[in-house]
Amino acid sequence: MNAREIALLALQETEKRNIKSEQSLHRLLEKHNPGKSDRSLATELLNGVLRLRLKLDYTISRYYRHDFQKAAPVLRNILRLGTYQLLFLDKIPGWAAVDECVKLARKYKGRHIGGIVNGVLRKIASEPAPSLDITLAKEPFSKQLSIEQSHPEWLVGRWLDFYGKEKTRAMLAANNTAPLTALRINTLKTSSETMFAALKDASVTFRTSVPEQFILTKDFDACEPFIRLGLLTVQNPTQALPCLLLNPLPGDTVMDMCAAPGGKATFLAELMQNKGHIVAVDRYPNKCKKIVQRAGTLGITIIQTAAEDAKTIRLEKQPNAILLDAPCTGTGVLGRKAELRWRTSMKKLEELTALQAELLDHAAELLQPGGVLVYATCSVEPEENALQINRFLERHPDFKRENLPVKLPNVFSPMKSTSGAFLTLPGEREGFDGGFAQRLRKNR
């Protein structure tokens, strides 16, 4: 099975079964075990089509004779794969892109559909790369930008209102750019200096990030041996910020309320020098098992998992620090999880803000007096971030915003608001996802 067919099947699974694209791709690559070049191409095709789906659909609709959105899902995805190759992959000859997609169409839908794919893709290949046509140029700016940058119009409109044209354009462009992989150095097993030297010896191209135990790279495959040894962990610096804000000390009792897949819980353990106690909560036992396995690889022994609902869990001992990395729309990580842009909605946003409020209220009840609560999301939506905190403080006057008593790396300074909250927008600095974090203190 070649790269194009693997990408097609992953697109079908992601769309039909509503699963994560990376999980589907990983399973297919493991099953069919293609060569390195095909693995790379399949990843590029999958992520490229997911990111630029709206722009691809707009282009295809200009050449497809019927209502493209009513076409069979497999036909839509084959045409998207072909159009993406024709318009955005210079190294693939146009004839090869067309020919391979025709073969896929014949295999999955028959000879007649193969003829349709051949006709549409040849028309797209024979003309210059299409730009916004006259009809679209008359549409509202939000719709133009939506199709040009392939994001839902309702989301683009919100960002224009909240962040203005310049920041919105930067966010959209960042979401359509293949992100660097960020990796955290496990300071329980090695030092930054030793790890940097080992990476250079392995001919890994990387750059250092901040905090100093993070690196950014495009050579993920070359880093996998170090990940298996527990020397490196995949984690973005923006996701590390809530852990730094919580600032746990060795010996503390910490609760990670929504812990899966375990990146933050293990970083907290490293910050605590593997001394103290961490309760990592997730309602699914299989996810708790993976957290335990990850901790074991990293040499961490202080994490205890609890397969319970974070909204109702009770603990024998009140924690003096709680991290609530809440379920959210994920609009700060659309470059890394491209399909999320097509799955979120205003209804979903409203449902998640209600859930976040429930989790915050329960965290307030669980935390011991004088303790610290850090609330975080990987969203850039005000309702999930600053406005959520405002509503929480109205319900809980025994809590207050608090600045971190120790100095954070300078890179985080521009993200900080006057209220002590931190907000990162996609595209603001290389290698950083979008996200929000706020440190709160419960009165004694």
pLDDT tier for residue 209 given thresholds of 50, 70 and 90:
confident
Specify the pairing of strand 277-281 against strand 253-256.
parallel
User: How many residues would you count in the chain?
Assistant: 444
Instruction: Inform me whether the pLDDT recorded for 415 exceeds 90.
Output: no
> What's the confidence (pLDDT) of residue 338?
94
Instruction: Inform me whether the pLDDT recorded for 130 exceeds 60.
Output: no
Instruction: Inform me whether the pLDDT recorded for 429 exceeds 90.
Output: no
Enzyme catalytic residues: 378
Find out whether 399 and 307 touch, Cβ atoms under 8 Å.
no
Which candidate, 331, 398, 332, places its Cα nearest to that of 361? 398
Query: Which superfamily does CATH assign the domain made up of 3-126 to?
Result: NusB-like (1.10.940.10)
pLDDT tier for residue 405 given thresholds of 50, 70 and 90:
confident
Q: How far apart are CA 125 and CA 131, in angstroms?
A: 14
8-state DSSP, 71: S
- 7 phi and psi angles, rounded to 5 deg: -65, -40
Mean pLDDT of all residues in 74-79: 97
* 273 Rama class: left (phi>0) / alpha (psi -120 to 50) / beta: left
Which candidate, 434, 339, 336, places its Cα nearest to that of 378? 434
Q: How far apart are CA 42 and CA 2, in angstroms?
A: 8
> What's the confidence (pLDDT) of residue 96?
96
pLDDT tier for residue 133 given thresholds of 50, 70 and 90:
low
Residue located via tokens 């927008």? 425
E-assigned strands of 252-302? 253-256, 277-281
CA 382 to chain centre: 18
Mean pLDDT of all residues in 388-409: 91
Greatest mean pLDDT range, 119-133, 136-150, 239-253: 239-253
Instruction: Inform me whether the pLDDT recorded for 200 exceeds 60.
Output: yes
The tokens for 28 are 């297919």
Q: What is the pTM of this model?
A: 0.94
Mean pLDDT of all residues in 58-77: 95
DSSP states of 360-381: HHHHHHHSPTT-EEEEEES---
Which candidate, 100, 94, 87, 16, places its Cα nearest to that of 51? 87
pLDDT tier for residue 136 given thresholds of 50, 70 and 90:
confident
Find out whether 175 and 341 touch, Cβ atoms under 8 Å.
yes
> What's the confidence (pLDDT) of residue 132?
56
3-state secondary structure of 249: coil
Q: How far apart are CA 378 and CA 327, in angstroms?
A: 9
Specify the pairing of strand 321-325 against strand 399-401.
unpaired
Q: How far apart are CA 247 and CA 241, in angstroms?
A: 10
CA 406 to chain centre: 28
Instruction: Locate the domains of the chain by residue range.
Output: 3-126, 134-175, 181-234, 237-442
How many CB atoms are located within 10 Å of the residue 113 CB?
20
Assign domain 181-234 to a CATH class: alpha beta
Residue located via tokens 């722009």? 55
Mean pLDDT of all residues in 30-47: 95
Find out whether 401 and 419 touch, Cβ atoms under 8 Å.
yes
Least confident of 58-72, 217-231, 397-411: 397-411
> What's the confidence (pLDDT) of residue 442?
98
> What's the confidence (pLDDT) of residue 419?
77
Q: How far apart are CA 318 and CA 264, in angstroms?
A: 20
> What's the confidence (pLDDT) of residue 410?
75
Mean pLDDT of all residues in 229-239: 96
> What's the confidence (pLDDT) of residue 423?
93
Mean pLDDT of all residues in 390-412: 89
Least confident of 197-206, 240-249, 266-275, 418-427: 418-427
pLDDT tier for residue 411 given thresholds of 50, 70 and 90:
confident
> What's the confidence (pLDDT) of residue 116?
96
Return the CA Rg of the chain: 23
pLDDT mean across residues, the chain: 94
pLDDT tens digits along 279-312 = 999 999 999 999 999 999 999 999 999 999 999 9
> What's the confidence (pLDDT) of residue 129?
59
pLDDT tier for residue 134 given thresholds of 50, 70 and 90:
low
Instruction: Inform me whether the pLDDT recorded for 408 exceeds 70.
Output: yes
pLDDT tens digits along 43-56 = 999 999 999 999 99
Least confident of 169-183, 219-233, 418-432: 418-432
User: Under CATH, which number does the domain 237-442 receive?
Assistant: 3.40.50.150
pLDDT tens digits along 353-368 = 999 999 999 999 999 9
